[in-house]
């Protein structure tokens, strides 16, 4: 939502729980908790970073790499959807409401990690 309403991707608050890909989450956890990596762990990291043209892991770049992986896995994959949603909000006039009432954005669009859905909540839909 931060990016949808004009925020810069680099300043978006992104956590591991925002990432839907389990393989990427495991790599993020590896980078967060390890300083020495086995060959198997390095291969696991490379499997995620190489397709995105990111370097392999070193002890010096692990935090930087973690942040880049998070940005790409959460925001990079949703760029087109964000553009389409923004266009739809503008076309329907809802954009004007959000522009005048930015406090309504987190209420109407809560972050997934800030919600606690129960089976009863899902039954209502």
Rg (Cα) of the chain, in Å, rounded?
18
How confident is the model over 32-79, as pLDDT tens digits?
987 788 999 999 999 999 998 999 998 889 999 999 999 888 887 777
How confident is the model over 89-100, as pLDDT tens digits?
889 988 888 888
How confident is the model over 7-21, as pLDDT tens digits?
676 667 777 887 888
Asked if residue 81 has pLDDT above 90, the reply is: no
Answer whether 0.85 is exceeded by the pTM.
no
How does DSSP classify residue 69?
Answer: H
Q: How far apart are CA 50 and CA 25, in angstroms?
A: 16
What is the pLDDT at residue 42?
92
């Amino acid at each position: 939502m931060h990016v949808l309403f004009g925020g810069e991707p680099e300043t978006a608050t992104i956590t591991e729980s925002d990432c839907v890909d389990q393989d990427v989450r495991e790599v993020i956890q590896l980078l967060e908790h390890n300083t020495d990596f086995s060959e198997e762990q390095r291969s696991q990291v490379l499997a995620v970073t190489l397709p995105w043209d990111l370097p392999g892991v070193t002890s010096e770049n692990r935090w930087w790499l973690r942040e880049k992986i998070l940005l790409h896995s959460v925001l990079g994959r949703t760029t087109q959807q964000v553009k389409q949603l923004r266009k739809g909000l503008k076309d329907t006039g809802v954009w004007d409401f959000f522009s005048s009432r930015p406090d309504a954005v987190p209420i109407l669009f809560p972050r997934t990690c800030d919600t606690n859905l129960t089976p009863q909540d899902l039954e209502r839909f």
